[in-house]
Amino acid sequence: MMLQFSVRNFRTFKERAVLSLIASNYDKDTREVENIHIDTDFNLRILKSAVVYGANASGKSKLLEAMVFMRDFVINSSKDTQKGDSINIEPFKLETESEKSSSEFEVIFIYSNAMYRYGFEVTREKVLSEWLYHKPKTKEIELFYRDGQKFEVHDRNFPKGATLAKEELVRDNALMLSVAAQFNDKSAGQVLDWFKGLGTISGLDEEGYQGFTMGRTENPKYKEQILELLKSADLGIKDIRLLPLDISELPKHLPKEVRETIEKEMREDDTKFISDVLTTHRKYDKNKNYVGDIQFSLDEEESSGTKKFFALTGPVLDTIENGSILVVDELDSKLHPNLVCKIVSIFNSKELNPKNAQLIFNTHDTNLLSSGLFRRDQIWFTEKDKYGAATLFSLADFKSEVRKTENFEDNYIRGKYGAVPYLGDFDNLSNFKLLHSHENEG
């Protein structure tokens, strides 16, 4: 489980921003059983979900992008870059000093009954520093610390690292952790596995993960789980079926070698290429008597909300099954607020989420604030100052000013917590008036 994520000098975040998933003591009697996992090994109360609010361009998506960058750089830096390649990092650009400075990322998490603290500091040219600490029980142990190309390595607990440092096998634009995992270091492999379980998806475009969900429906067990979610969402769907690709439907201008490759792979696995999902609905006569079933094309006949909810079921169920983490940008896009509540309630549920998977997402849907699903320490806000730098803060930071019985939604809309747009006077837009006057003259 993720305990804390922090980022500095990345995109809109100039100063260090910290997202904590450690439950506060302030709300101990609020949704303690549902929303919190108690880790007895480390005596920690860990939140199973967190939501981020903020005005447009306030930084809430950039926070999630920071997680994506860290994950991708950890997984790929040792194999996708060569010596001299630049690092695809984007610092805060609205200040002359910060755009030339390094960016920093750190995450603290529990995996396989051990706590890890891992982070790094990078520029576009190289890794400036990197560190990994391991806490099997009560004492934190340094596995390695990197300062440029100088490495301090704990030989016994990180043996591969000592060899890699001695033989100078870690490039200045690659992470020691990534290289050590390639050389089968146990601790590095554990950390890498945790990052691989950090799922990130965009709520604005479900096409990127709809294929994953379609693949899950080929397994009868997973198909039943997906159908159960679809039925509970009251979408009128009683069954789903994959429609295999018809070779005759392939474009005529498709290169011969591409067509032959597709034909060969379809002969080996006829479920590999799917053209659509068919949803089954009940059909009635004019007297409301059931007369049979009818199938709709998911792509062409179902609503955009139905398509997105179907696509989400795969990643949600996979995350729940593996006890991992799902990060979603704009979860509420295209979905009714009740469906968003349904997804959040699954993660918060002790019964439905026995492996304590976590959900982190951003949204504009203020209905969630009055849904009773969240504690104050699960609600976060991003806000930009007048110089364009974003800050991240929690509703729990307002504990002296905000009672837990207050209407969080009304307070947020009224601007009590900040993180809302400061709008100008739309009634006095001089250029619009000028345009309108010219039209009248014409």
Nearest of 134, 107, 114, 143 to residue 41 by alpha carbon: 114
Q: d(Cα 179, Cα 95) in Å, to the nearest integer?
A: 34
pLDDT value of residue 250: 64
Instruction: Return all residues near 316 (Cβ < 8 A) that are at least 6 apart.
Output: 229, 326, 343, 346
Tokens 């006890």 locate to 323
Helix or strand or coil: residue 54?
strand
Q: What is the mean pLDDT of residues 360-373?
A: 84
pTM attached to this predicted model: 0.86
pLDDT value of residue 205: 79
Residue 253 covered by a domain: yes
CATH number at residue 375: 3.40.50
Residue 90 covered by a domain: yes
Determine the structural domain holding residue 349 and report its residue range.
1-197+324-424
Residue 441 covered by a domain: no
Lowest mean pLDDT among 229-233, 265-269, 302-306: 265-269
Of residues 127 and 203, which shows the higher confidence score? 127
Question: Do 235 and 129 belong to one domain?
Answer: no
Q: d(Cα 378, Cα 23) in Å, to the nearest integer?
A: 8
Tokens 């998490």 locate to 109
Q: d(Cα 75, Cα 80) in Å, to the nearest integer?
A: 9
Instruction: Residue 303: count other Cβ atoms within 10 Å of its Cβ.
Output: 10
Lowest mean pLDDT among 15-19, 61-65, 262-266, 382-386: 262-266
Question: Do 7 and 134 belong to one domain?
Answer: yes
Contact 298, 33 (CB under 8 A): no
Q: What is the mean pLDDT of residues 117-136?
A: 96
121 φ, ψ (degrees, to nearest 5): -130, 125
- Token pair, residue 85, equals 């390649």
How many domains in the chain?
A: 2
Question: Do 211 and 193 belong to one domain?
Answer: no
Contact 64, 360 (CB under 8 A): yes
